[in-house]
Structure 1
Amino acid sequence: MKIIVADTYEDLSLQVANDVVQYLSKAGTPLFCPASGDTPAGLYAELVKQQQQGIINTSNWRFVGLDEWGGMNGEDEGSCRFYLNKQLFFPIQTPEENIVFFNGKVENPIVECERIEEFIDHHKGIDVVVLGLGMNGHIGMNEPGTSSDLYSHVSTLDTVTQEVGQKYFSSQKKLLTGLTLGVASIMDAKHVILMVSGEKKSSIVKKVIEGAITTEVPASLLRNHPSFCIYMDNAAAGLG
């Protein structure tokens, strides 16, 4: 495990962006798994800026979704795909055929999870996965107590996730389930990045770093990954 502490959120986002680009540039047709949420937004803004300035070329990048709310897809305002469309996919003009994302509206979510894993296998694995850290220690929608052996699956959401998730929607939603890459899917990625920002995350990130490696704090399981790095700002590190 490697830990990088940046002074500000802006510095954090730039550092992660530069490292993501470095990792992806080493693959011929890289597969990138970006998380949705507030914390990675600055990363995506930096990638968009670099692409629009001609510093990087994202035309050969492929994307696989990390997770999606049950019963939703990119057409739903507030969905994971909706935010990634807005923050990353549309600004860098990613062709739809270069994106494979969970569709939470399918009749058979188990088959949908199999489709995602087949896509990952076809591309010989994920090169980089970027994760946010849930207030309860979840990664993706792998909630406390989720088996570390699971690949893509349907998750029953913790009450903390149900409550925190409301911030993405203009009206109250029933957020009962999610489709998500499993811990095993994430652990198979070549590089795993965990982004943490803000004082409110300082307590849980301390557990991730210093506590027991346990399914009760899913992000702690990442410490067993050979190329795992936590990037956080001073506030999350308890320094400011």
Structure 2
Amino acid sequence: MEVVVAPAAELARIAAGAVEEVLRTRPAPVLGLATGSSPLALYDELARRHAEKGLSFAHARGFLLDEYVGLPPGHPERYRAVVGRELVARTDLPPDAVLGPDGDAEDLPTACAAYEAAIDAAGGIDLQVLGVGTDGHVGFNEPGSSLASRTRLKTLTARTRSDNARFFGGDAEDVPHHVLTQGLGTILRARHAVLLATGEAKAAAVAQVVEGPVSARWPGTVLQLHPHATVLLDDAAASRLELVEHYRATWAGKPAWQGL
């Protein structure tokens, strides 16, 4: 696991550089797209590079990390709609090249299996964007999730619904109780996992994810098992890390040719 501590604006540029490398070097790149607050600055930077530097997404595919169950079609907080606003509408990524788990399906287990099959058929995810919840969840793999889990239905905890209430006018009662999410085992199959976290509210979870024991209590710790995981943090999110000076030194001394 590589840990990078830098100002928030720099984190977005670092992550965008990794995405750009995938887009420029792979004939059919596959991106794993997260929502929430963490990736928004990244999507802003990617949109800027598309507008100002001609970075193209036209040959790419995208797979959503998760999706709510029970939100009506057209709801602005459906994750397909969020990614549509934040990335698709601002680049040349074809709308029909973005797939999410089908939260409207009558048979949700079958829909989840079909989503896993679609990722496999695309050749797997080249770069998966991730955030982390205050309780350590990645995707919507809440505490207690199997470290080998695949795309499936999950029930959101009261804490996660409270955290996400800011997207629903501040009312946690409007946040759905259920989601479909890529599993931790699914996330581990991505060739590169890039987790972004900013702010002091994420510091306790980040400390566990980066330096704590691998445990279903803190699902994000599964990234310690990933062969190519990058954790991008601002000073506040990194404030509880014991080895923060080591991370700063290794990043400062990293050979440029290694990339992210």
Pairwise same-fold verdict (TM > 0.5)? yes
Number of aligned residues: 238
SS of 2:20's equivalent? helix
Q: 1:73 to 1:31 in 2, by over 3 A?
A: farther
Q: Quote the residue 1:123 is aligned against.
A: 122
SS of 1:139's equivalent? coil
Question: Quick check: 1:166–1:173 contact (8 Å CA) kept in 2?
Answer: yes
Q: Quote the residue 1:4 is aligned against.
A: 4
Q: 1:33 to 1:101 in 2, by over 3 A?
A: same
Q: Distance in 2 between matches of 1:5 and 1:55?
A: 29
Identical amino acids, percent of aligned pairs: 29
Pairs within 5 Å for 1:54-73: 54-72=53-71
**Consecutive unaligned residues in structure 2, runs of 5 or more:** 241-260
Q: Quote the residue 2:90 is aligned against.
A: 91
Q: Distance in 1 between matches of 2:73 and 2:98?
A: 12
Q: CA deviation at 1:18?
A: 0.7
Q: Quote the residue 1:45 is aligned against.
A: 44
Q: Distance in 1 between matches of 2:18 and 2:117?
A: 27
- AA aligned to 1:115 is A
- AA aligned to 1:148 is L
Q: CA deviation at 1:174?
A: 4.3
**Consecutive unaligned residues in structure 1, runs of 5 or more:** none
Name whichever structure is richer in helix by fraction.
Answer: 2
- AA aligned to 1:11 is E
Q: CA deviation at 1:73?
A: 6.5
Deviation readout 1:48-106 (Å, 9 max, x if unpaired): 11011134111111001100111137621222222111110111143232111123122
Q: CA deviation at 1:10?
A: 1.0
Query: Which has the higher mean CA deviation after the structures are superposed, 33-42 or 167-176?
Result: 167-176
Q: Distance in 1 between matches of 2:23 and 2:188?
A: 17
Deviation readout 1:184-236 (Å, 9 max, x if unpaired): 11001100011010111111101111111101101001110000010011121
Q: Distance in 2 between matches of 1:97 and 1:85?
A: 11
Question: Quick check: 1:128–1:190 contact (8 Å CA) kept in 2?
Answer: yes
Question: Quick check: 2:57–2:92 contact (8 Å CA) kept in 1?
Answer: no
Q: CA deviation at 1:114?
A: 1.6
Structure-1-length-normalised TM-score:
0.94
Question: Quick check: 1:73–1:81 contact (8 Å CA) kept in 2?
Answer: no
Q: Quote the residue 1:187 is aligned against.
A: 188
- AA aligned to 1:136 is D
Q: Quote the residue 2:75 is aligned against.
A: 76
Q: CA deviation at 1:119?
A: 1.1
User: Where in structure 1 do 4 or more consecutive aligned residues deviate above 3 Å?
Assistant: none
CA root-mean-square deviation: 1.5
Q: Quote the residue 1:143 is aligned against.
A: 142
SS of 1:90's equivalent? helix
Q: Quote the residue 1:197 is aligned against.
A: 198
Question: Quick check: 1:44–1:88 contact (8 Å CA) kept in 2?
Answer: yes
